Structure 1
Amino acid sequence: MTTATRATRIANLPFAEPGTPDLRSGERFMLWIVRLQSRPLILGILCGIAWMSLQAGIPLVLGFGIQAAVDHSSSGVLWAAAGVLVLGIGQATAGVIRHRFAVTLWLSSASRCQQLVARHVAELGADIPRQIATGEVVAVSANDVERIARVMDVLPRFIGALVAFIAVSIVLVFLSPVLGVIVLVGMPLLMAVITPLLKPLENRESTQREKYGEASAMAADTVSGLRVLRGIGGEQHFIQRFRERSQSVRASAVRTARIRALLDALQVALPGLFVVTVTFLGARLALDGQLNVGELVAFYGLTAFLVMPLQTVTEMADKFTRGRVSARRVVKLLSLPARRTQLGSVAHPGDLVDEVSGLTITEGTLCAVVCSDPNTAGELADRLGGMAAQGSGGVSIAGTRIDDLSAESMHAVVVVQDKDPTILSGTLDELVDVPRTGSVERDAAMYAASAEDILEGIDWDEELPERGRSLSGGQRQRLALVRSLIADPPILILDEPTSAVDAHTEARIASRLREVRHGKTTIVFTTSPLMLDQMDEVHFAPDGVVLASASHAELVRANSSYRYVVTREE
């Protein structure tokens, strides 16, 4: 038995290993979760059956007691009172235990799904934005996981409701064959009335879920680009777009709510009308002498009790519909391919070679790549770092193709710093707490990134807001550089690391970068003459293909196209 199947208690959460899910469909994914939690599920079902059955037994005993009172039997009344007390205590005990197992199933399912999503997101790494909207990832983690867990919560009650329904129907047939058959046939017919609503509800749930994911993605993109929007005066345009998108989500939610409201209304109205009908027929039978008073009371109580199983079945149908839609979204996310799945590794970093662009970076050098377009530079940086969505075919390190390397090996060898680096919430000390070699101390990295001035307004243990909103663009960029330098990878790729800093700060960073990265391969994508002048070699790749390689001074003197890109002079 694996760890994934053993760890079912709340105390064992999170799981040491969440397991390998069945991703063939949303339904199979949910069935996989059920199988891994068979023990608490079976115990929860048994408690659910006991809870429902004991509750159903109370009307029977009450009917016996009332008939005993009618017959002036004191002992019968006492026995009935004792029976109700025992059944009430038993029902309460079974209900508490059932609820405990239900909570265990809910938390375990949610934790397992969360861990699966987190693990796969970590495997995808920087490929995520290229394959799925970040807002969709947030929506899956925040909403879909919860909906799947809710199915596991109601499942024991649902099975207990079915068993109780069958048992009560048999008792009703024994008390009155006519009324028993009416109940036995009528309750399924009520479900048949509700069932046609489930498919439209599922379709509208799916549409609403997609629109919600799109709106979340737009909101995330808008917030992350707020400074840019303010700079170009585009706030009102994006506000209008988000307003239109949110109104679309609202309209979709209203359409879904209409069906759900109808479903909830039928869930109350139909059983109520059915109970009134059966009670009326039972009263007629009592008047005709076919039922005594106690049997009529028991019959009414049992019929009224059947409303609960029917509501539970309807609740299960509703939550299963939502859960199935959410499971499909989770499966879609977990099915996104993580490109590096093999277990290759690099014994010792060497030259980095890209056959497509013609780029060859000698191990241990400080070099630059100049592209005419920032997007081209970003795409080439992603290729070299193994983060391109289409793969990095043709790129190798020390003769090993990086597409054949495991994610762990790539992370240990190559670090890529984007031009717009992410600053996570937490303290400044936590921000720079990354896997490291120990060769570069924190203070040395701060000095090399010319970031000492940041400490004048922020302490190491001070909490930073999400994405470092309180910091300027230059401060965020320099803190990201500090983080990269502390990691001290054998190969460091910096995409426009100084685009948001002033010229004096950029000059200091350029002059200090060589010392802190001595003996390690460093590739800087930039068009800044201040940075380029410090490089061992500059590769000119205006459209992503290397046209010339030399020092900055030589390229400025001999190549007019290069001179135009870096100085804007003909």
Structure 2
Amino acid sequence: MQIQDLPYHDPGVPDARSGPRFLWWLFRNQLDGQLKSLAWGLLHFASVAALPFCVGVAVQAVVDRSGTQLALAGGLLALACVGNAVGDTFLHRTAVTNWITAAARVQQLLARKAAQLGSALTRRVAAGEVVAVSTGDVEKIGWFVEAWSRFTAALVTIVLVCAALLVYQPALGVVVAVGLPVLALAVLPLLPRATRRADVQREKAGRATELASDTVAGLRVLRGIGGEELFLDRYRRASQEVRHAAVRSARMWSMITAIQVLLPGLLLITVVWYGVHLARQGRITVGELVTVYSSVMVLTYPLRHFEEIAMAYSFSRPSAKRAAGVLALERATDTAGSRGADLPSGDLYDPDTGLLANAGLFTAVVCGDPDAAGRLAERLGGHPPQEGTSVLLGGVPLDELPLDSARTAVLVQDKDPVLLSGSLRELLDVPASGDVEPRAALAAAQCDDVLAALVQGSVDAADPMDARITERGRSLSGGQRQRLALARSLITDPEVLVLDEPTSAVDSHTEARIAQGVRELRAGRTTVVFTSSPLLLDRADQVVFLHDGEVAATGTHRELLHTEPRYRAVVTRETDDETGLLQEHGSPQKHDSLQEHDSLQEHDVLRELEEIEEKA
């Protein structure tokens, strides 16, 4: 695989059981590139290691006044220099290729996992951790995968040089053969502490990243309540903790580097002292002493790869663990499904709760626990928990359908939809049936003021569809972003549309118009809305009330208000005293009087909306 061939047609199925297993899987899937890097690395390191022998031959030729030996030494030196240049060039090329392709493979795997899980991903993994894995962690993982082949080439070169020195000059070769392993293993006792400090640094950095992400996402709200400085101070403290942890980690790694500089120096001093002693005794020649000394000095270069591989593993191990944790998340069933791609139609039924959304009707679901409502909405979209039962659409389990087919049949819009940057036309360019025009969807979602705001905020956009939307729609209010997201969902026109609190950020009058617009636009289609808003509930064909995870009552909004006290408590926000009063004095007159008092604003808005419709 070359860089120009990216992206991968199929990045493969990773071994996500643990971080080390994931790293080994990446290495095996890049075996061809690793072998190329190893081959060029051996050429490079062998050429570097051959230079001392060439110099030693040249020095001895001068001492012996031998022109033939000097010419031979010059030829060998030129050959070694050419091998060094060629090997270093292509080693760098293959190393960078291995690094980038490994990182790209991890990014594609993460992107594929995000596409499979959808919004369920951030419910199961913190958003800051997903960001950390997708950015910095992929580079650290690629670094270790790439560095392994260079380390192997350096190790093989050191073993070969030690063996050659033992044959070439046994007396000094023994000193080198004993000293080099000591140099390579001397830092091992320090690595666990260095790794722990690096882990602490990355953990604090991940928390700081998550805090920054949350702060930026809620910046408009923070400014509105005056909490901007509070969160900035919190981030400053988190940033300082990261800095202190990084300094502690750097101190340990600098100590390891210092040891790897000090010990080779001591080995060189030992070799020179003992070599001079042997030369005085006539046991070695001057050329042999120069050769051994130069070899030890040159071997400090491949020895540094021992430090690099230790550092690379230290940094990549927790990164690989986090990546494997994300990649290990699975849909309850196989993404490919066990049925054909034919889209089913009919009633939507959840066996776990007993929720039944009849085909072609506008069904509102009231659930006192917002988190439980979010989990149920996720399950309705074909993502049941591992121990849960699949939702049925027309009697067909959604988890038996291919993921693409399930998402085409059932579209779930959660309570925090994301708007990507770009023009409004690009935002609304989504897979759709073609039966719903963008203008109709925008009108149903009451986006007239949103379009006007976009045109006013754009310098050269006469058509609202060409107006630019900033990242995540931060230039818009929460209600405006919510309505644009609703319009985008309406354009797709799925068989079943599931909306989780789609109007929580809009005013009552706009909410009533949205309820009517969605009802008219989705006529004949199944629509499920999780809400506790009386305005939406009053427009629904049927309302399902869930209590303790099960369907407790079904009917119209007005029927449930009169017959189900628990439903009334959730919808009208009754206090415990009011609920107790009704249960103690449960006369229809008092019940109706209190209900009229709690629903006064709702009825006023509905009457006003009806008057506007009659005038129109």
Whether the TM-score (by the shorter chain) exceeds 0.5 is yes
Q: Please show how residues 512-523 of structure 1 align to structure 2 within 5 Å.
A: 512-523=517-528
Q: Could you tell me whether the CA contact under 8 Å between 2:332 and 2:384 is conserved in 1? A: no
Provide the C-alpha distance between the structure 1 equivalents of 2:246 and 2:72, rounded to a whole number of angstroms. Answer: 53
Q: Please show how residues 29-428 of structure 1 align to structure 2 within 5 Å.
A: 29-341=22-334, 343-345=337-339, 347-387=343-383, 392-393=388-389, 395-428=391-424
Using the TM superposition, give the Cα deviation of residue 500 of structure 1 relative to its aligned residue in structure 2, in angstroms.
1.6
Provide the C-alpha distance between the structure 1 equivalents of 2:352 and 2:27, rounded to a whole number of angstroms. Answer: 48
Any idea what the Cα deviations from partners look like across 1:77-123, whole Å, max 9, x if unmatched? 34333332222122101211122111221122111111112212222
Using the TM superposition, give the Cα deviation of residue 236 of structure 1 relative to its aligned residue in structure 2, in angstroms.
4.6
Amino acid of the residue matched to residue 412 of structure 2?
Answer: V
Using the TM superposition, give the Cα deviation of residue 302 of structure 1 relative to its aligned residue in structure 2, in angstroms.
0.9
Amino acid of the residue matched to residue 428 of structure 1?
Answer: L
Provide the C-alpha distance between the structure 2 equivalents of 1:567 and 1:319, rounded to a whole number of angstroms. Answer: 59
Indicate the residue corresponding to 1:487 in structure 2: 492
CA, structure 1 residues 156+461, in 2 after alignment: closer, same or farther (shift >3 Å)?
Answer: farther
Indicate the residue corresponding to 1:537 in structure 2: 542
Amino acid of the residue matched to residue 38 of structure 1?
Answer: L
SS in 1 for 2:389: coil
Provide the C-alpha distance between the structure 1 equivalents of 2:353 and 2:24, rounded to a whole number of angstroms. Answer: 47
Provide the C-alpha distance between the structure 1 equivalents of 2:82 and 2:346, rounded to a whole number of angstroms. Answer: 74
Indicate the residue corresponding to 1:436 in structure 2: 432
Any idea what the Cα deviations from partners look like across 1:513-570, whole Å, max 9, x if unmatched? 1232121101122333333333222233466544433333444455565555445545
Any idea what the Cα deviations from partners look like across 1:437-479, whole Å, max 9, x if unmatched? 1111222212221223333324544543322111111110011
Q: Could you tell me whether the CA contact under 8 Å between 1:126 and 1:387 is conserved in 2? A: no
Provide the C-alpha distance between the structure 1 equivalents of 2:241 and 2:353, rounded to a whole number of angstroms. Answer: 44
Any idea what the Cα deviations from partners look like across 1:198-240, whole Å, max 9, x if unmatched? 2222333333333333332233233223334444444454444
Q: How many residues align?
A: 563
Provide the C-alpha distance between the structure 2 equivalents of 1:55 and 1:394, rounded to a whole number of angstroms. Answer: 64
Indicate the residue corresponding to 2:533 in structure 1: 528
Amino acid of the residue matched to residue 197 of structure 1?
Answer: L
TM-score under structure 2 length normalisation: 0.85
User: Does residue 510 of structure 2 align to residue 509 of structure 1?
Assistant: no
SS in 2 for 1:306: helix
Using the TM superposition, give the Cα deviation of residue 31 of structure 1 relative to its aligned residue in structure 2, in angstroms.
2.0
Indicate the residue corresponding to 1:476 in structure 2: 481
Percent identity between matched residues is: 46
Using the TM superposition, give the Cα deviation of residue 51 of structure 1 relative to its aligned residue in structure 2, in angstroms.
0.9
Q: Compare 351-360 and 232-241 and name the one that shifted more.
A: 232-241
Amino acid of the residue matched to residue 104 of structure 1?
Answer: T
Provide the C-alpha distance between the structure 2 equivalents of 1:228 and 1:198, rounded to a whole number of angstroms. Answer: 45
User: Does residue 503 of structure 2 align to residue 498 of structure 1?
Assistant: yes
Provide the C-alpha distance between the structure 2 equivalents of 1:324 and 1:419, rounded to a whole number of angstroms. Answer: 36
Q: Structure 1 unaligned runs (5+)?
A: 1-7
Provide the C-alpha distance between the structure 2 equivalents of 1:501 and 1:329, rounded to a whole number of angstroms. Answer: 38
Q: Could you tell me whether the CA contact under 8 Å between 2:34 and 2:146 is conserved in 1? A: no
SS in 2 for 1:23: coil
SS in 2 for 1:370: strand
Q: Structure 2 unaligned runs (5+)?
A: 456-460, 574-596, 599-616
Q: Compare 471-480 and 240-249 and name the one that shifted more.
A: 240-249
CA, structure 1 residues 463+511, in 2 after alignment: closer, same or farther (shift >3 Å)?
Answer: same
Provide the C-alpha distance between the structure 2 equivalents of 1:173 and 1:248, rounded to a whole number of angstroms. Answer: 51
C-alpha root-mean-square deviation of aligned residues, in Å?
2.6
CA, structure 1 residues 25+548, in 2 after alignment: closer, same or farther (shift >3 Å)?
Answer: closer
Provide the C-alpha distance between the structure 1 equivalents of 2:566 and 2:316, rounded to a whole number of angstroms. Answer: 58
